[in-house]
Amino acid sequence: MSESNFAIPDSPEFTEAQMERCRETGDYMPIVFEWYKFVGMLAILLGHIMPESQHYYVLMGLLNRCARLILSNVALSHKGKFGETTAIVDRCIFEAALKIIWLCFKKDREEFGQLSV
């Protein structure tokens, strides 16, 4: 792949009219949806970072899980359907993300071997 394929995507931007519409209706889902897609794309990009330690594979596995689940949730929810299913998938995403955060801040690296991914 060329280097340009690994550029960090631009974060979503919204016009004042879009923001005003969300404020008026109380429905911020269009904004949340765009941010959700952005995080999914960012997770995929970060999953291509070259390994420098054995812990890389655990973290990348969890990050790839998050990315796949986020993009699956986008596909499921883009027409406003499958609300209960998307909530279940969201929980799986949050659990994997919390494992990543927990592992990154642990001083003792034994948890990498004990973690049930």
* pLDDT tens figures, 46-79: 766 666 767 778 888 888 899 899 888 888 887 7
**Token pair for 66:** 């998050």
For residue 116, give the DSSP letter.
Answer: -
The pLDDT tens digits for 4-54 are 455 667 889 999 999 999 999 998 888 888 888 888 887 777 766 666 767
Max distance between CA atoms of the chain, in angstroms, equals 51
What is each CA distance from 16 to 27, 35, 91, in whole angstroms? 15, 16, 32
Q: How many CB atoms lie within 10 A of CB 77?
A: 19
| pTM of the model as a whole | 0.60
Residues in the chain: 117
- Report yes or no: 74 and 40 within 8 Å, Cβ to Cβ: yes
